Homo-oligomer: A and B are copies of this chain.
Amino acid sequence: MRVAIIGVGMTKFGEVWDKSYRQLFVEAGIEAIKDAGIDPNDIEAIYGGSMTPGQFINQEHVASLVADQAGLENIPAVRVEAACASGSLALRQAYLAIKAGEYDLVLVGGVEKMTDILTPQAVGALASAADQEWEGFYGVTFPGLYAMMARRHMYEYGTTEEQLAMVAVKNHHNGAKNPKAQFRFEITVDQVLNSPMVAEPLKLLDCSPITDGAAAVILANEKTAKEYTDTPIWILGSGHATDTIALHDRKSLTRLDATIIAAKQAYKQAKIKPKDVDIAEVHDCFTIAEIMAIEDLGFVGKGEGGKAVEEGMTSLNGELPVNTSGGLKACGHPVGATGVKQVVEIALQLRNEAGKRQVKDVEIGLTHNVGGSGGTAVVHIFSM
Contacts and interface: CB of A to CB of B under 8 A. Distances in A.
Nearest to A98: B100
Interface string A46-90: 000001101101111111110110000111111111110000010
Nearest to A261: B74
A76 B242 contact: yes
Interface stretch (A131-139, A200-208, A308-316): A131-139
B65 A245 contact: yes
Contacts of A128: 54, 58-61
A109 interface: no
Contacts of A54: 52, 54-55, 125, 128
A132 B67 contact: no
Contacts of A75: 241-242
A77 B240 CA distance: 8
Interface in A219-264: 240-246, 249, 257-258, 261
A96 to B, nearest CB: 4
A115 interface: no
A273 to B, nearest CB: 21
A63 B86 CA distance: 11
A376 interface: yes
A141 to B, nearest CB: 13
Given A58-B124, A78-B240, 13 more contacts: A61-B81, A61-B82, A63-B81, A64-B83, A74-B241, A74-B243, A77-B82, A77-B242, A78-B93, A80-B81, A81-B81, A93-B97, A96-B96
Interface of A: 20, 22, 51-52, 54-55, 57-65, 67-68, 73-83, 89, 93, 96-97, 99-102, 124-125, 128-133, 136, 240-246, 249, 257-258, 261, 371-372, 375-376
